[in-house]
Every structure is written in structure tokens, then in C-alpha cells.
Structure 1
Amino acid sequence: MQKLSYLKPQTLKEALGYLKEYGEKVKPYAGGTDLMVQLREGSSRLKDVEYLMDVQALPELRGIEVREDSIRIGAMTSHTEVNESEVLRKHVPFLSIASSTVGSTQIRNKGTVGGNICNASPAADTLSPFVALNARLVVVSVDGEREVMVKDAMEKAGKLKLAPHEMVTSILIDRIDDYSTAFIKLGRRKALAISRMNAAVALKMENGVIAAARIAPGCVFSTPDRVEKAEALIVGKAPSAALFEEAGKAVSEEMIARTGIRWSTEYKKPVIEALIQRALCRAAGLPED
């Protein structure tokens, strides 16, 4: 394991100063559940890192706050906190469900939603609900603050579009109080598994028809995104298993259009179609079989 120096800033200003001074040589961390694995494996992601910066003392990275049209989630909020939050269970239940599927109890207690995003793995369980919620990262540096959509933040697997002197302090998500939501994950086993594929959906019903829809498949694109073609297909129509089957096919068509035909496509195509259909049925209160 490489030798590293340890930094523990007591204020956000001090942390941003370290980032400005050391740039790519410093790696911020909170839970460290992915970082420790990368260190043990000698990951190339850390080849230039000389300092580990523990940000657990920074209050700006904590807390869940309901605003008029959004909810702020501190980047250092653990998966357990997201899963157990009455606020999030009420307003965005599929995000709480997604966090409940991450790793083991120990990992959920230490691992954070900010880390889940910043690790930039396409298989991260919370990415698809965050994308469905139009999540924005609040990114800060000594030069100021900016927001970037989560779906636009990933440059490629393992890398976010952040400058070396920037860090994520919180995530802003839409309030969708009048939507019903669902999250379904497919893993190699029932527990302690990363997603092979998943689906996060949200439906707004008015007078028996779908007034608005959000469909975000997980682990099927190189970077996370919603499928607007599938959303448009079901809006204005009454929910049904047949309609949602069409939506699933629209998602698989979009997957193939973006990623091409691969050795895994024969498996992924019917699976993502089934996951989308099941998630939409669940959100609409229809039988899933």
C-alpha cells in the first residue's frame, strides 16, 4: 500500500485551501468504503495521490433539508441515514429504497451518497433515482460555488467532471410529492451485490392517466441518464402492463442505440425491458407478473 499523508480540516475553508494547494495530490474522503478497496488494490485512480483528506468534521456536508421545491442532502449523509430518513421516505421513497440495497449494514453505516456519486461507478445503486430526481451536485472551491446535473457530471466510468480544486458538498433533488415511485435492482445475489442493472421510475397520475413520467435505467449507459422517449410514450395514457411493456422496449432500443450490439446485449435487452415494466407496474399499483 502506498504511503500517504493525512489531513483533517476543521472548516470548509481549510479543506478548500488544501484542495487549492495540492490539487490532484489530495483525495477527499468521508466513509472511505471504496477508497480502502482502491488502496489495497493499488488502483491507478490514486497513482498521483499523496494526501488523504478526512472531511468528516465539516458540518456543511451533513444534513437533510426540505426546501420549497427541492430537498438538500449533504454529501456526507450515509446510506443508512437516507434509508431511515422519514423526510426522504415521504417525499422520494425510491431513493431510500436504493440506499437500503447498498452493500452490507456496515457499508451503509459508513458509505455516503456523495461518495456513491463521486466514485463515478455506472453500477452505483443510487445513481438512477438521483437521475430521475434531476439531482444537482453543489460543487465548491475557493473560487465560489456552482451546480452541475448528476447526469452530466460523469465524464466516464470512475471520473467526474470536477477540477482538482473542487469538491461536492451537497446534492439537490426535486420534490416530487405528487408522484409514486419504484426502484428495482438486479444483482448476482440478494445481498452484498452491486447492480447488474436497475430501474428507477416515478409516475404522476391525474384523472386516471399518466400526467408525467420519469424513467432512469441503471447500468445500461456509459453515463447515467433518463429515457425521454420511453417517458413520452406513456404520458397521457392509462397505465397498463401492455403500455409498460412498450416502455421497456423503448428503453432497450435506446440502450442499443447508445452502446451498440455487444456480447451482453442478448441478455441485457430482455432483462432491462422486464425491470422497467415491473418498476412502472409497481409505481402504478398494478400486478407485476
Structure 2
Amino acid sequence: MFQYNYERAKTIQEVCETLKKYNGHVGIVAGGTDIMVQIREKDQRWKDMECLLDISYLKKELGYIKEEGQEIHIGALNTHTELENSQIIRKYLPFLSEACSTVGSPQIRNRGTIGGSICNASPAADPLTPLIAADAEIIIVGLNGERRKALVDFYIGKGKVDLGEGEFVKGFVVQKFPEGIVTKFGKLGRRKALAISRLNVSVALKIDGAGVITFARMAPGCIFATPDKVKKAEELLVGQKVSEKLFEAAGKIVSQEMIGRTGVRWSTQYKQPAVEGIVEETLIEAAKKAVSR
């Protein structure tokens, strides 16, 4: 059983000061759907934890979803349910709403937060790939103020994120997509409900009246050590007419990128055709959505 202190922060300043006080030996809890399970299972990442810091009282400061010009601002303490149901998210980032709707059970979605999901640094996090596909920035706050960086650069290794002494995640900023973009989230789990993703992918497409793709973004999940888009697949799609053959080729590029980055492993025999299939299927669904608009 891990032994630790429990503290509750009432201001952002208190969060930063507590993080510095314990010199990084702190676990932050908001919804608790990840960290409390990890502590109970004696996950070794928390073996040196000296303090469990509760930031749930900062909901007013960190639970926002708002438009500011061409930017969408999302606070770290928004729950998956709030993001799923937000009219702003559904309008501008519908694949994020879709992704959040697939997280765990209703109870988990009602408690778990987007900040916790991202900071847990699991490649299986459903909300991660839509944010990567949308080129989201992450807002990090510390005793010296705020800083922004591309979310894709926040991950500095497997299970590791770029947070310095006294820093934590305040929220996220996403630029609105150009007019006419459609998005789609696809997921492959072991079962239809309550499943952690085995694979997922988020895509954004714009298709003109002639059926030619003029814009493409694609971010797969669970296949790289750190999250990323697949630019080779995006480049293949742009300028080409929609077809199942094209989408099949895009899926093969993603699987080859996976093998190129991680090598051939025991799971490759399963993952290679699976990732090709989920990419192709999600692109087809996005194209159908674009045509029906």
C-alpha cells in the first residue's frame, strides 16, 4: 500500500506551489478514473508519490469550453460527457465529441476529465487523436506563468510528458477548421462497450464538388510510442478523387509507418491488417458524411 499525504488546492497558485513543495512527487487527481485505479493496483509510477493533490475544486477556473475568434478553448477539467454534449465541440470538432462518447462507461465519462486523459500519457486515450489531428496546442501553467506548445510535442517518450517543476496542464487551444471540413473518429476495441481502444484513428477531410480531396488530416492512436499524424497518408489523399482503392492505399501507408517507427513485433501480425482496416473504414465514413452534407 502506498503512503501519501492528501491536499486540496483552491487556486491555480496553490496547485503550482504544492507541486514545487513536493518536488514532483505528486499525483494530481480530478476525476480519479485513472490515478485511483493505478494506485490501487500499485502501479510503480506512483511508488515515490508523497502527495495526492485534489484539483477538482478548480472546476470554475478550468472547466470552460469557449470560442475566442478562430480559436476553441477547452479547460482541463471538462469531463468527457461535457465535451461529448458541448454544442461548440459538436459544431467545430465533432470527432472530439465522438471520441469522448466512446470513453469507458457513463460513470467514467461523467467523472473523467480531458486533462487527466491527456496527462495519463496513454497511447490508447480516445480524445487524444482528434486533438492531434486538429493540431491542438496545450496550455501549461506554472509559478512563472503560462506557456503553450503543440500537443504533439508534449509527449517526450513512452508515458512521459513535458511538465517542469511546479507545472500542470490548464487546458487546450484548437484552431477552427476551414469551412467545409468533415471529421470522423474510428475505434477498434475488444468489444463494443467499456473497451479501451486497441486502435483508433481521427480523420478530417474536405472534398470538393468533383469528389476530389482538397484537405486531409489523419492521426492514428495506439500504434506509435508517442502520438503523431501520418503526413505521408495525408499527402497521398490530397488532390485525389475519392475511392475505396485510395483509402485502402492510405491504410497501407499508415501500417507501413507503424512498422517503420516501431519495428516488427509480436503484435504486428494482428495490428497491420487491423490498422489498415480501421483507417480505410473511417475514411469511407468521413467521405460519406461529406457527400451527404
For the residues of structure 2 that align with 1:110 and 1:284, how far apart are their CA atoms?
33
> In 2, are the aligned partners of 1:20 and 1:165 still within 8 Å (CA)?
yes
The aligned residue for residue 259 of structure 2 is 256
The aligned residue for residue 110 of structure 2 is 109
* Secondary structure of the corresponding residue to residue 223 of structure 2: coil
- Equivalent position amino acid for 1:276 in 2: V
The aligned residue for residue 178 of structure 1 is 180
Q: 1:204 aligns with which of 206, 216, 239?
A: 206
Asked if 1:20 is matched to 2:20, the reply is yes
The aligned residue for residue 153 of structure 1 is 154
- Equivalent position amino acid for 2:198 in 1: R
- Equivalent position amino acid for 1:55 in 2: I
Compared CA separation, residues 253 and 21, structure 1 to 2 (3 A): same
The aligned residue for residue 223 of structure 1 is 226
**TM-score relative to the length of structure 2:** 0.94
Written as runs of structure 1 = structure 2, the 5 A alignment for 1:1-289 is 1-58=1-58, 59-176=60-177, 177-208=179-210, 209-285=212-288
For the residues of structure 1 that align with 2:253 and 2:231, how far apart are their CA atoms?
9
Structure 1 position 54, deviation (Å): 0.9
- Equivalent position amino acid for 2:229 in 1: R
For the residues of structure 2 that align with 1:94 and 1:25, how far apart are their CA atoms?
35
Structure 1 position 286, deviation (Å): 7.3
* Secondary structure of the corresponding residue to residue 24 of structure 1: coil
Structure 1 position 19, deviation (Å): 1.5
For the residues of structure 1 that align with 2:208 and 2:175, how far apart are their CA atoms?
19
> In 2, are the aligned partners of 1:79 and 1:100 still within 8 Å (CA)?
yes
For the residues of structure 2 that align with 1:278 and 1:67, how far apart are their CA atoms?
34
- Equivalent position amino acid for 1:225 in 2: D
For the residues of structure 2 that align with 1:229 and 1:220, how far apart are their CA atoms?
16
Structure 2: 5+ residue stretches without partners: none
> In 2, are the aligned partners of 1:25 and 1:48 still within 8 Å (CA)?
yes
The Cα offsets for residues 94-116 of structure 1, whole Å up to 9 and x where unpaired, read as 11110011111100000001101
The Cα offsets for residues 10-65 of structure 1, whole Å up to 9 and x where unpaired, read as 11112211122222122222101111111111111112211111111223211101
Structure 1: 5+ residue stretches without partners: none
- Equivalent position amino acid for 1:66 in 2: E
CA RMSD for the aligned pairs? 1.4
- Equivalent position amino acid for 2:250 in 1: A
For the residues of structure 1 that align with 2:39 and 2:180, how far apart are their CA atoms?
44
- Equivalent position amino acid for 1:234 in 2: L
* Secondary structure of the corresponding residue to residue 91 of structure 2: helix
> In 1, are the aligned partners of 2:76 and 2:172 still within 8 Å (CA)?
yes
- Equivalent position amino acid for 1:42 in 2: K
> In 1, are the aligned partners of 2:182 and 2:289 still within 8 Å (CA)?
no
**TM-score relative to the length of structure 1:** 0.96
For the residues of structure 1 that align with 2:238 and 2:140, how far apart are their CA atoms?
34
The Cα offsets for residues 124-173 of structure 1, whole Å up to 9 and x where unpaired, read as 11111111011111001001211122211112232212113110000112
For the residues of structure 1 that align with 2:206 and 2:8, how far apart are their CA atoms?
45
For the residues of structure 2 that align with 1:184 and 1:120, how far apart are their CA atoms?
20
Structure 1's consecutive aligned runs of 4 or more residues displaced over 6 angstroms after TM superposition are: none
For the residues of structure 2 that align with 1:119 and 1:286, how far apart are their CA atoms?
32
Stretch deviating more after TM superposition (32-41 or 60-69): 60-69
How many residue pairs get matched? 287
Q: Percent identity, please.
A: 50
